[in-house]
Amino acid sequence: RGVAMLATLISVLACSPADEPTPPAAGQSAADRRAGAPGIGDPDFPRDGNGGYDVSHYDLVVDYTPATKRLDGVTTISAAATQELSSFNLDLTGLDVREVAVDDAPATFTRKGDELTVRPARAITGGTPFTVKVTYTGSPKPASDNANLGTYGFIPTPDGAFVASEPNGSKTWFPNNDHPADKATFDFTITVPAGLTALANGEQAGRPTTSGGRTTFRWRERHPMATYLATATLGKFDLRQGSTAAGIPNLAATDPRFKSSLDPLYTLSGQITDYWATVFGPYPFSSTGGVVDDYSAGYALENQTKPLYGGFQPDETIIAHELAHQWFGNSLTIKRWKDLWLNEGFATYAEWLWAEHKGKKTAEATFTELLKRPASDPMWSYPPGRAKPDDLFNQSVYTRGGMTLHALRRAVGDATFFTLLKAWAAEHRYGHVTTEQFVALAERLSGKELDALFDAWLFQPRKPA
């Protein structure tokens, strides 16, 4: 109690809204020089993620009541220090932190903007594992300050919550290292009023239990996951569960308003997951499916194992897109946001491959049609290989990114191209990727010099010749 009160006092004193990050001063104390950095090192998002440690696991305990919008949470993070740490940061927006413990010992903390700085009683030795447990409460506010990204993060709905956090909204509902460069496994224990369903990533660990009018759901994602893909989507849902023809557990969930989508979502998600496994290689996770919630997000998100569709009936094209992300984005994860075309260009190209597979339209026909766009089309002035932080999800990252893959397919031929897609997914399964690595693999497998092709398609602010 005493420690928590002192920490609250410190956090109030440290919380002047005008505060800006202070650069390291020459005369700073030894302790400050051993402070973990407030960002993970992505120059486009300098405050996202943190330095000095690597998370291996998040244990999230969340209690939520839609009527009051109150969330009570306990997040226990298992991490390894990559340097000596006199203090380190977590990312968290809003919410009241009640207590922080490092290796079960009370720690002090301060808040400044989206940074939660934790100072353990004793410095953490570099190279050693540690745990940090954060007890917090409050009413989560989604991120919505950026017109380009819309509203994202933990979005309260009348019957629960719509949780879609790309690129950096997971900090709106739990403290974490909020950047895809640090992936970890997750356990979720989510309690909601009885009658509601809590849907998180991975598979259920046991049946839900109800007592005192509240139901607790347990979910477990055993494969590494970026924080932006973590979800706790809550509300009234109709469920359909089973497995795909190839034997992958499949779960579809729809808000009652989208009940008519339940069967098509279930069937298409299963068929598409199985088809992508033949094109991209084995499905990387332990289950597949999808969730349609009654919140008009204006987008869908490829939440790991459970893509989330925001307030519309998903068709096969968008299901093909979100499920392709399970390979490209979720299993193979970008190290820096500027490489986002490795997610969105691939998922867009997957839409064209699905249409080709269904005999509706070849990828070549889609490509040829898009190539007719005049040189003045804004797509040609935005180089998709360098996603801009203030316009991350520009259509060029999707469409011109997808066209880049088709230009590559034309240059290397179908056999090499499809070998490359599988090799790419296999070599970096569950890992991190960069554009340079993709170019290198494409050149290695094709035996061709491809710099000019990738430069024209990914990096030039003009229509390729």
Question: Where do contacts with Zn ion occur on this chain (CB under 5 A)?
Answer: 344, 347
- Least Å distance, CB 42 to Zn ion, is 19
* Residue 196 binding target from ligand ARG, Zn ion, none, CB below 5 to 8 Å by type: none
Q: Does residue 334 belong to the site contacting ligand ARG (CB under 6 A)?
A: no
- Least Å distance, CB 321 to Zn ion, is 6
Position 239, amino acid? L
Indicate the residue among 299 and 349 with the shorter CB distance to ligand ARG: 299
Please report, as residue ranges, which positions from 393 to 422 form the binding site for ligand ARG (by CB under 6 A): 393
Q: Does residue 266 belong to the site contacting ligand ARG (CB under 6 A)?
A: no
**By Cβ distance, which residue is nearest to ligand ARG?**
152
Q: Cβ contacts of residue 228 below 8 Å, gap of 6+?
A: 165, 166, 167, 168, 169, 170, 178, 180
Indicate the residue among 218 and 321 with the shorter CB distance to ligand ARG: 321
Q: In what order do the strands lie in the sheet with 115-119?
A: 88-91, 115-119, 108-112
* Longest alpha-carbon distance in the chain: 68
DSSP state of 260: G
Indicate the residue among 47 and 111 with the shorter CB distance to ligand ARG: 47
- Least Å distance, CB 102 to Zn ion, is 37
* Residue 301 binding target from Zn ion, ligand ARG, none, CB below 5 to 8 Å by type: ligand ARG
Joined tokens for residue 429: 């399964």
Joined tokens for residue 196: 């509601």
Among 187, 322, 339, 351, the residue binding ligand ARG under the rule CB under 6 A is: 322
DSSP state of 371: T
Q: Does residue 178 belong to the site contacting ligand ARG (CB under 6 A)?
A: no
* Residue 299 binding target from Zn ion, ligand ARG, none, CB below 5 to 8 Å by type: ligand ARG
Q: Does residue 300 belong to the site contacting ligand ARG (CB under 6 A)?
A: yes
252 φ, ψ to 5°?
-110, 140
Q: Cβ contacts of residue 136 below 8 Å, gap of 6+?
A: 72, 73, 74, 75, 92, 95, 96, 97, 98, 175
Among 159, 221, 302, 351, the residue binding ligand ARG under the rule CB under 6 A is: 302
Q: Does residue 173 belong to the site contacting ligand ARG (CB under 6 A)?
A: no
CA distance 140 to 393: 24
CA 448 to chain centre: 34
Chain contacts with ligand ARG (rule: CB under 6 A)? 149-150, 152, 166, 299-302, 321-322, 344, 393
